[in-house]
Amino acid sequence: MSKSFDRLNLLSTFVRIAESGSISAAARDLGISQPSASRHLVELESKLKTQLMRRNTHSLALTDAGAELLLDARTLLADWESLEEKHINFDSEVKGALNVVAPVALGQLHLARIATEFQLQHPNVNLNWQLNDDQIRFTEVGCDCWIKIGAVQDDTLIVKPLAKVKRVLVGAKSLESTLSDINIDTIHSLPIIALSPFEAQTVPLKKSNRVEKITFSAAMQTNNIFAVKEACKLGLGIAVMPLWFVSEELERGALINVLPQWQAPELPIHIAFLPNRYKPLRLKLFAEHVEKELAGVNGIQID
């Protein structure tokens, strides 16, 4: 085994230990023994002449030097893998790890199916699927791509718009008699269940070229879209909801479309990557697959 490959092997073990938080878990993932994984970590620390992790009987924690190395190691390993894929003939086989961060609700209800279909087509791709609605620090989570609804607040990334989410104002079926008498001038009298960070108490509603900013009293404010839908179905108030998220309830009559001629502003869906990097074939194909399959989701419009 060459020294350069040996060093990459040490870095790979270090990254797996850091990501799993456990030497034994990293060893299982890598198919090596726990003592071997531990020796790799000790040898890497010896080569770099610094402590990378603090160890006790229950946990591991990165030192400042370890946290800095983790970012560099991920970049180096990804670049090496990309170089291999670019210059070595793999007979166009799609394989390797793919680390994806996706939004919670869309990730559960549609993107999980889309990602699974991709894996069935490419069984040698190992998917690490994380759901998170918050802003993330891309390099710290070891991410290959980040699917985000709304703005990506990181100007160091390459961000591509994927689609737009149509949003409608909905209310419970039990409020139908009340809602039938509501118009754009009286809608403010109803309480709203607001989904942060997308809504507050003031919501712009659009009809053709006319926009009205409506200020509601808040019945509830939460960052959980499932809680918003449940509270809305129970009649607590009205809510601005993505059409893809409530299309079933609208079809069944559990929710009704309030002021169907008026819509809230669409929200963009973005996919983000690290800049200036050769993208592995699996990442290119995954991004294309997601964009293609999102086109078939009711309430999502491809850009």
Q: What is the pLDDT of residue 70?
A: 86
Q: What is the pLDDT of residue 3?
A: 52
DSSP 203-264: EEEEETTEEEEEE-EEEEEES-HHHHHHHHHTTS-BEEEEHHHHHHHHHHTSEEESSTT-BE
pLDDT along the chain (303 residues), means of 10: 68 85 82 89 91 82 88 81 68 78 94 95 91 82 87 88 94 86 90 87 89 92 94 95 95 93 93 78 92 93 82
Strand ranges for the chain from DSSP E: 53-55, 60-62, 96-102, 125-131, 145-149, 158-172, 191-195, 202-207, 210-215, 217-222, 239-242, 255-257, 264-273, 300-302
Q: Running DSSP on this structure, what letter comes out for residue 123? A: T
Contacts of 50-57 spanning 24+ positions with Cβ under 8 A: 52/14, 53/17, 53/18
Identify any residues that bridge with 210 across adjacent strands, giving them in sequence order.
207
Q: What is the pLDDT of residue 290?
A: 96
Cα–Cα distance for residue pair 65/271, rounded to 1 Å: 30
| DSSP three-state, residue 164 | strand
Burial of 276 (0-12, 13-18, 19+ CB in 10 A): exposed
Whether the ω angle into residue 197 lies within 30 degrees of 0, i.e. cis, is yes
Q: What is the pLDDT of residue 4?
A: 47
Cα–Cα distance for residue pair 231/201, rounded to 1 Å: 16
Q: What is the pLDDT of residue 278?
A: 64
Residues 6+ apart with CB under 8 A from 153: 135
Cβ atoms of 98 and 128 within 8 Å: the answer is: yes
Q: What is the pLDDT of residue 113?
A: 95
Cβ atoms of 166 and 250 within 8 Å: the answer is: no
Q: Phi/psi class of residue 282: alpha, beta or left (left: φ > 0; alpha: ψ in -120 to 50)?
A: alpha
Q: What is the pLDDT of residue 302?
A: 85
Four-point Cα dihedral 31, 2, 127, 150, nearest 10: 140
Element (H, E) at 132: none
pTM of the model: 0.75
Q: What is the pLDDT of residue 89?
A: 58
Cα–Cα distance for residue pair 286/303, rounded to 1 Å: 17
Cα–Cα distance for residue pair 45/244, rounded to 1 Å: 50
Domains defined for the chain, CATH in brackets: 3-87 (1.10.10.10), 164-267 (3.40.190.290)
Q: What is the pLDDT of residue 177?
A: 83
Beta carbons within 10 angstroms of residue 258's beta carbon: 21
State both tokens at 152. Answer: 């990506």
Cα–Cα distance for residue pair 280/295, rounded to 1 Å: 24
User: What is the total residue count of the chain?
Assistant: 303
